[in-house]
Amino acid sequence: MSNREIVVQNLVKRYGDFTAVDGVSFHVEAGQIFGFLGPNGAGKSTTVKIMTTLALPSAGEVRVGGYDVVSQAGQVRQIAGVALQEIGLDPLMKATELLIMQGQLFGMSRQQAAARARQLLEIVRLTDAVEKRVGKYSGGMRRRLDLALALVHEPEILFLDEPTTGLDPASRRDIWQEVRRLNREMGMTIFLTTQYLEEADELADQIAIIDRGRIAAAGSPAELKARLSSDAINITFASEAAVEQARAALADMADQVQTDRRVLRLYLNRAAEAVPAVVRRLEQTGLEPQSLTLTQPTLDDVFLAVTGQRFLSEEKAA
Amino acid sequence: MAVTTMTGARPQAEATLTTPRLPLLRQIALLAGRNLMTIFRTPEAILPPVAISVFFLVIYQSTLGGAASFLPGLAGKSYLGFILPLSIISSSLAGAGIAAQNLVRDLSSGYFDKLLLTPVSRAALVLGPILAGAVILGLQASIVITVGLLLGLQPATGLPGLLAVIGLAVLLGTGFAGFTVSAALGSGSAAATQGAGFIFFPLTFLTASFVPLALLSGWLRTAAELNPITYVLEAMRSLMLTGWDGAVLLKGVAATLILATAMYALAGFALRTRTRRK
């Protein structure tokens, strides 16, 4: 039994002159779902490859389940289940064949592996597709089979590198449901990378945001949102000129003001209580808003605040 | 007492760390079985080399078979028995690429990485496909020989001799597989692997291909004498035409083994480079 924790300390990974991971540290507790969130090229997959023994760190220490990924790679492979971003499946084989072989390679007898394969095919709902070669699978089916392969040896720690990238919303929800079930019922520690804020918000107990190889922010989803102190009042006007006028009139009432075409955003604490004063001020200046809404900070706002760039939203990505 | 406790504690601790692991030979057999399965699912990859070998066998026999008795050294002997080994060798050298083709498929699909994440031995990842390739090499040689028998081949050493010929064919093809596998591991590319296979083409023909070695002269004779395949060819021919000749057979086996050793050293280096964590 491992301790089911992941400890990463000052991890650095250089490729020549390029530093892909630049002093990353975090701690995943046993039984947690940990979301590693960041845009493409931020260093997520590199970190996963190091944690799963496929690549070596340039500096720093990584322990998975208490085992050092450099000197105890064999032990790490025994307790870690891995579904990489690039799904690696032999297109000429069938799901059952792949699962049975995986089980045998992990030391199961053929009978044990066959029983486990049947069980997993049911879990990932591929029982109808067992006669098809994997080359004929859809993207969602390939992801689900890849997940099943990662689970064959009942790992204590599961690594999922962008498990839902490229999936349709229904398949995505299936994977989410399965991830939650594995975590709840088996107590599996799950390390998940994602580009989707919604996914991290939905699944993760703890989140680290990685940007250009560094951890930009870390904490629970609620903590991260709370760190952005303010709620926002969003006021839409008929023209951009009106937005500029309103901005000048209201600037002193908010901690921070942003304009986005015909929308003016005022960031301030306890926005609801400030609404009457804002409306009065607008009436005094003769500006007529088309609509006024209140929003609480989203992880997207957190990301914007810590990295200075807006996150790829799920709709745009899909 | 203290010593007993210490030595007693260690294996226990290790047992919990390295949970059941398949013995190396079982790993190789498992991976080879899987490769054979996928090979039989893509017969288009293995049938053409055999078909070409059989085609040339029939052509050589029909065009040159009658004239061969005029060749010094072949008088009174079967030209079919003389030329059949060339067909077998060319199908062996073509078949030497099978293991590499399978590896390249795994490298490009990413399945190779998936296997690296299991407790499988790195050597088994390569020896599995090579073993599967050896089985196919045996099948290919058997097919060519069967066609020879249908054309009227009467080997001097009978069935045991034919089995020895198949054995040599498998040994040769498996030895050369070390080379194509190195190319596959080094390049990860199907085109480069196929390109590496072409080196065998001159090797097949810079031998005593169509006439006995004694009749060759000049640079071709030198090339043939330096070409290890010549000795495999001579060994096969002796089995077909004259009988059991220990010295000739030994030369054939030795030539193959020397080649195989060099190529497997190369393959081992390529495997270490490919699977070394960077």
CB B109 within 8 A of CB A92: no
Residues A112 and A197 in one domain: yes
- Selecting from B22, B105, B277 the residue whose C-beta is nearest the C-beta of A54 gives B277
**How many A-B residue pairs are in contact by the CB < 8 A criterion?**
81
Q: Are residues A186 and A271 in the same domain?
A: no
Q: Which of B162, B148, B169, B164 is nearest to B88 (CA)?
A: B169
The answer to whether residues A147 and A183 belong to one domain is yes
ipTM confidence: 0.83
Q: Identify whether B3 is part of a domain.
A: no
pLDDT score of A318 more than 50: no
What mean pLDDT comes out for the span A16-29? 95
A106 contacts in chain B (CB < 8 Å) = 118-119
Interface contact B4, partner A, CB < 8 A: no
Q: Within a domain: residue B236?
A: yes
Same domain, A148 and A276: no
pLDDT at A313: 44
**pLDDT value of residue A230:** 67
Whether B38 sits inside 8 A of A101 (CB atoms) is no
pLDDT in tens, A182-211: 999 889 999 999 988 889 889 999 999 998
Would the CB atoms of A78 and B19 count as touching at under 8 Å? yes
Contact of A71 with chain B, judged by CB distance below 8 Å, is answered with no
- Which amino acid is located at A25 in the chain? S
Asked whether the predicted pLDDT for residue A309 surpasses 70, the reply is no
Flag whether pLDDT at A174 surpasses 90. no
What is the average pLDDT across A257-286? Answer: 86
DSSP line for B131-176? HHHHHHHHHHHHHHHHHHHHTT---TTHHHHHHHHHHHHHHHHHHH
- Contact criterion met (CB below 8 Å) for A231 and A269: yes
- The answer on A197 and A103 residing in a single domain is yes
Domain CATH number, residue A263 = 3.30.70.980
DSSP bridge pairs for A296: none
| Residue B242 in contact with partner chain A when CB distance is under 8 A | no
Host domain of residue A95? 6-225
Query: What is the per-residue burial (b if ≥16 Cβ within 10 Å, else e) of B209-242?
Result: bbeebeebeeeeeebbeebbbbbbbbbbbbbbbe
In order of A313, B86, B148, B155, the CA distances from B91 in angstroms are: 56, 9, 14, 19
State the pLDDT at residue B251: 94
- The reply to whether A104 touches chain B by the CB within 8 Å rule is yes
Segment A79-97, tens digit of pLDDT: 999 999 888 899 999 999 9
A124 lies in the same domain as A71: yes
User: Is A185 exposed, middle or buried, given 0-12, 13-18 or 19+ CB atoms closer than 10 A?
Assistant: exposed
The answer to whether position A310 is within a domain reads no
Is A304 part of any domain? no
Q: Do B20 and A107 touch (CB under 8 A)?
A: yes
Do A143 and A269 share a domain, yes or no?
Answer: no
Which chain A positions have a beta carbon within 8 Å of B190's beta carbon?
A: none
Taking contacts as CB-CB distances below 8 angstroms, the residues of chain B near A72 are 17
Structure tokens at B86: 């060339």
Does one domain contain both A194 and A260? Answer: no
User: Looking at the structure, do residues A241 and A175 belong to the same domain, yes or no?
Assistant: no
Q: Is residue A234 in a domain?
A: yes
What is the average pLDDT score of chain A?
88
CA distance A255 to A235: 16
Q: Where in the sequence is the domain holding B225, given as residue range(s)?
A: 22-275
Q: Which two tokens mark A246?
A: 């309103």
* Chain A residues whose beta carbon lies within 8 Å of the beta carbon of residue B278: 55-56
Which residue is it, tokens 């030329």? B83
Q: Is residue B193 part of a domain?
A: yes
CA geometry: angle A57, A58, A62, nearest 5 deg:
35
Q: Give me the pLDDT at residue A317, please.
A: 39
Report residue A1's pLDDT band, with 50, 70 and 90 as the boundaries.
low
Shortest distance between the Cα of A211 and any Cα of chain B, in A, equals 23
Q: Of A225, A243, A268, which marks where a domain is finished? A: A225
State whether A205 and A287 are in the same domain.
Answer: no
Last residue of a domain, one of A225, A252, A285: A225
Please determine, for residue A10, whether its predicted confidence score (pLDDT) is greater than 70: yes
The pLDDT value recorded for residue A253 is: 86
Segment among A9-13, A41-45, B158-162, B253-257 with least mean pLDDT:
A41-45
Do the beta carbons of residue B229 and residue B141 sit within 8 Å? no
| Segments in chain B below pLDDT 50 | 1-19
Indicate whether A209 and A246 sit together in one domain. no
Q: Any idea what the CATH number is for the domain that residue A61 is in?
A: 3.40.50.300
Interchain pair A90, B38: CB under 8 A: yes
In this structure, the answer to whether residues A251 and A220 fall within a common structural domain is no
- Say if residues B93 and B86 touch (Cβ distance below 8 Å): no
Token pair listed for A118:
């049947």
Structural domains counted in chain B = 1
A308 occurs within a structural domain: no
B31 assigned to some structural domain: yes
Considering only CB atoms, which chain B residues are within 8 Å of A149? 114
Q: For chain A, what is the domain count?
A: 2
Contact state of A92 with B42 under an 8 Å Cβ cutoff: yes
- Any domain includes A309: no
Note whether residue A68 is domain-resident: yes
Rounded to an integer, what distance in angstroms lies between the CA atom of residue B223 and that of residue B209?
A: 12
The mean of the pLDDT values for chain B is: 86
